[in-house]
């Protein structure tokens, strides 16, 4: 789900250059624990600076620069295949002139990372409510300005990779989105592995987007879900076609089907149809009183059938979705009370039907004064206070899907 390459699916990736080193290094780093969480931060920025300093000192050519990158860094959000290597080199060539402006951020390394990944994962865990300890590693790396945060799981270890060169305002939402995937995997109901079904992709991406929305209630819906302006309104216009299209492939785990409904254009002629359906399905469940924790505990094998049941109900609804109506994990009692929840931004479905809704993104205007000063995060809440656009994709997305990005096999 990236604009840089069809290989870059924003949310989950199965194989990345350099990931093996992260898995090995994570075992050597003293973790920071906050029950039931155990988070380790691995900083790859010194490796990048070794490469960068060597390349600039010798005024390396493009060919020499690529050889130095492979020698010193060798980490990119691409498949570890010859095609993936070719994409990584193209990304490096495009990013090279941009690195000088980001060197101050890169030199700060993980110590300067904002928002704090600890606050982010704690906020996510508060909503998903894992029963046991969740162990994960955050790998802070230097990408190619593609803003492609991603999550991968191998041999029982979960890694969230966060790009350091991106500005904070272009990083926070993607980090939260990927933390949802990581905690979800740590809960055991979702493997995070490929192949995975289209139905599982719908549910997991919908969960990641809706949790991110819940933790950032002051942002417009488009900041959480869109990779390009106008995508949500376009998808709303094709809602019934998209739901019908995806209904028959929920149990499919073929590479072509997963790609078609994520980074590719689906039968309805719009990209990322699985994300849109996930957004609608999760919104329906939340309106019915399910909590994020309830949804996160649906076994992966049951995800296609559970998603299919909701699609049947959504197809019977004539009214378009109200994207800002989310129960924010307060449960059925809060929904029945008919009162505002998630602060004063997200309101009950009854009030939403009479609210002033933007014709462009159908986001409730209730207190939606989104500042232009950039994204910031409170260490206590993990919430942002300003708008953000995702990386050329859901931003961002992500990847990621980006995420939310990933790469189906």
Per-residue model confidence as pLDDT tens digits over 253-267? 999 999 999 989 999
Q: What share of the chain is helix, strand, coil (3-state, %, to 5)?
A: 45, 10, 45
Question: If we measure between CA atoms, which residue out of 302, 308, 195, 200 comes closest to residue 254?
Answer: 195
78 vs 249, higher pLDDT:
249
CA–CA distance, 313 with 252 (Å, rounded to integer): 21
Inform me whether the pLDDT recorded for 80 exceeds 70.
yes
Phi, psi of 100 (to 5 degrees): -55, -40
CA–CA distance, 184 with 23 (Å, rounded to integer): 19
What is residue 405's predicted lDDT score, i.e. its pLDDT?
A: 38
Domain boundaries of the chain, sorted by first residue: 19-187, 198-352
What is residue 370's predicted lDDT score, i.e. its pLDDT?
A: 21
353 vs 139, higher pLDDT:
139
Position 338 confidence tier, pLDDT thresholds 50, 70, 90: very low
Inform me whether the pLDDT recorded for 375 exceeds 60.
no
For residues 383 and 374, is the Cβ–Cβ distance under 8 A? no
Q: 251 burial class (0-12, 13-18, 19+ CB within 10 angstroms)?
A: middle
Residue 76 DSSP code: B
Inform me whether the pLDDT recorded for 374 exceeds 90.
no
What is residue 168's predicted lDDT score, i.e. its pLDDT?
A: 81
Q: How many CB atoms lie within 10 A of CB 199?
A: 29
What is residue 324's predicted lDDT score, i.e. its pLDDT?
A: 56
What is residue 184's predicted lDDT score, i.e. its pLDDT?
A: 97
Inform me whether the pLDDT recorded for 360 exceeds 90.
no
Inform me whether the pLDDT recorded for 32 exceeds 80.
no
Please report, for residues 206, 212, 261, 383, the alpha-carbon distance to residue 404 in angstroms, rounded to integers and kept in the order given.
Answer: 10, 11, 13, 18
For 215-245, write each residue's pLDDT tens digit. 999 999 998 999 899 999 999 999 999 999 9
Alpha-helix runs per DSSP H in 297-347: 303-315, 332-337
């Amino acid at each position: 789900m990236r604009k840089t390459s069809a290989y870059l699916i924003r949310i989950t990736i199965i194989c990345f250059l350099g990931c093996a080193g992260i898995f090995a290094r994570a075992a050597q780093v003293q973790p920071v624990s906050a029950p039931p969480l155990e988070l380790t931060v691995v900083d790859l920025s010194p490796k990048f600076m070794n490469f960068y300093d060597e390349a600039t000192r010798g005024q390396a050519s493009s060919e020499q620069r690529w050889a130095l990158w492979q020698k010193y860094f060798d980490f990119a959000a691409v498949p570890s295949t010859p095609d993936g290597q070719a994409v990584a080199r193209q990304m490096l060539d495009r990013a090279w002139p941009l690195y000088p402006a980001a060197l101050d951020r890169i030199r700060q390394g993980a110590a300067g990372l904002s928002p704090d990944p600890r606050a982010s994962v704690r906020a996510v865990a508060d909503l998903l409510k894992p029963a046991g300890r969740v162990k994960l590693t955050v790998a802070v790396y230097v990408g190619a300005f593609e803003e492609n945060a991603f999550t991968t799981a191998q041999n029982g270890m979960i890694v969230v990779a966060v790009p350091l060169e991106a500005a904070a305002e272009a990083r926070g939402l993607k980090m939260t989105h990927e933390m949802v995937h990581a905690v979800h995997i740590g809960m055991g109901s979702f493997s995070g592995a490929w192949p995975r079904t289209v139905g599982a992709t719908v549910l997991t991406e919908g969960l990641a987007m809706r949790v991110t929305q819940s933790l950032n209630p002051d942002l417009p819906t488009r900041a959480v879900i869109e990779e390009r302006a106008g995508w949500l309104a376009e998808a709303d216009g094709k809602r019934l076609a998209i739901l019908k299209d995806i209904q028959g492939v929920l149990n499919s785990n073929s590479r072509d089907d997963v790609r078609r409904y994520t980074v590719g254009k689906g039968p309805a002629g719009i990209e990322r149809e699985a994300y849109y359906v996930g957004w609608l399905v999760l919104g329906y469940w939340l309106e019915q009183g399910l909590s994020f924790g309830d949804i996160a505990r649906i076994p992966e094998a049951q995800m296609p059938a559970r998603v299919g049941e909701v699609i049947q109900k959504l197809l019977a609804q004539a009214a378009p979705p109200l994207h800002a109506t989310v129960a924010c994990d307060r449960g059925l009692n809060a929904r029945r009370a008919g009162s505002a929840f998630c602060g004063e931004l997200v309101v009950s479905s009854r009030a939403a039907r009479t609210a002033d809704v933007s014709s462009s993104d159908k986001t409730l205007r209730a207190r939606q004064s989104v500042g232009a000063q950039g994204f910031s995060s409170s260490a206590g809440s993990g919430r942002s206070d300003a708008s953000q656009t995702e990386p050329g994709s859901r931003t961002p997305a992500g990847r990621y899907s980006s995420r939310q990005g990933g790469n189906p096999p």
